[in-house]
Amino acid sequence: MNLPNKLTVFRMILIPVFILLLAVEWQWGQVTIGGADIPVPQLIAAIVFIVASLTDLLDGKIARKDHLVTNFGKFADPLADKMLVMTAFIFLVSLGKAPAWVVAIIVCRELAVTGLRLLIVEQDGQVMAAAMPGKIKTTTQMLSIVFLLLNDVFFTAISIPIGSILLYICLFFTIYSGVDYFVKGRDVFKDTNN
């Protein structure tokens, strides 16, 4: 197994660790960082999420640079990304830090675009590359999750709900990029049996 695939597997292993940190009621107290009071399990979960997100950044770069793209990587990398992000958003809802309706839209878009990408690969053999709106969506997703888990660390003192602001920016780009993917991939739905 090459290094990018090992990083992807490592990211998948971090997901149950992330779940355990947030699902179990640990009595580890809290710490104050940058003006924000953060329960210790949430802080550790945020660190795990950051590490997992960084492996996502690294595995793709290494795979492309060193020509280590594999079928396993094509399958597991996006799957690990979606599993990590969806898990984080579901826990943010359960912690009362994100509205369920926003998370539902994000999850539905992720599933719909994943399905569309699979259809395009099946029909054309081409992987639909992420466009700039999708990259902005991913970046704001990751940042919003981190800031929501860390109770708006460094922004608490000035009363800016940065996590929520990033979440709504993410929501906008989630919808925008989803529409963009379906407009660009609309040919996959044309009936070829005419």
Q: If you write DSSP's letter for every residue of 47-74 in order, what string do you get?
A: HHHHHHHHHHHHHHHHHHHTT---HHHH
Q: What is the pLDDT of residue 194?
A: 52
The Cα-based distances of 28 to 7, 34, 189 in angstroms read 29, 19, 52
Provide the pLDDT for residue 123. 76
Q: Kindly report, residue by residue over 143-156, the tens digit of the pLDDT.
A: 999 999 999 998 98
Least confident of 9-18, 118-127, 172-181, 182-191: 118-127
* Angle made by CA atoms 115, 121, 127, in degrees to the nearest 5: 100
Please state the pTM of the whole predicted model: 0.90
The whole-angstrom separation of Cα 141 and Cα 136 is: 8
Share of the chain above pLDDT 70, in %: 95
* Contact between 162 and 153 (Cβ < 8 Å): no
- Answer yes or no: is pLDDT of 91 > 80: yes
Question: Tens of pLDDT along 48-80?
Answer: 999 999 998 888 788 888 888 877 887 788 889
Would you place residue 128 in the very low, low, confident or very high pLDDT band (cuts 50, 70, 90)? low
Give the per-residue pLDDT at 68: 83
pLDDT of residue 72: 81
Q: Examine the pLDDT at 106 and tell me if it is beyond 80.
A: yes
> What pLDDT is stored for residue 127 in this prediction?
66
Tokens of 55: 């492996």
Please name which of 72, 83, 77, 51 lies closest in space to residue 130, comparing C-alpha atoms.
Answer: 77
Chain centroid to Cα 156, Å, comes to 24
pLDDT over 70 at 193, yes or no: no
- What are the start-end ranges of the H helices in 24-129? 40-65, 71-94, 100-124
What domains are there in the chain, each with its CATH number? 3-186 (1.20.120.1760)
Q: Work out the average pLDDT over 79-92.
A: 94
Residue 116 has pLDDT above 80, yes or no: yes
The share of the chain scoring above pLDDT 90, in percent, equals: 59
Token pair of 77 as six digits: 């990398």
Could you give the CA distance from residue 116 to residue 182 in angstroms, rounded to a whole number? 7
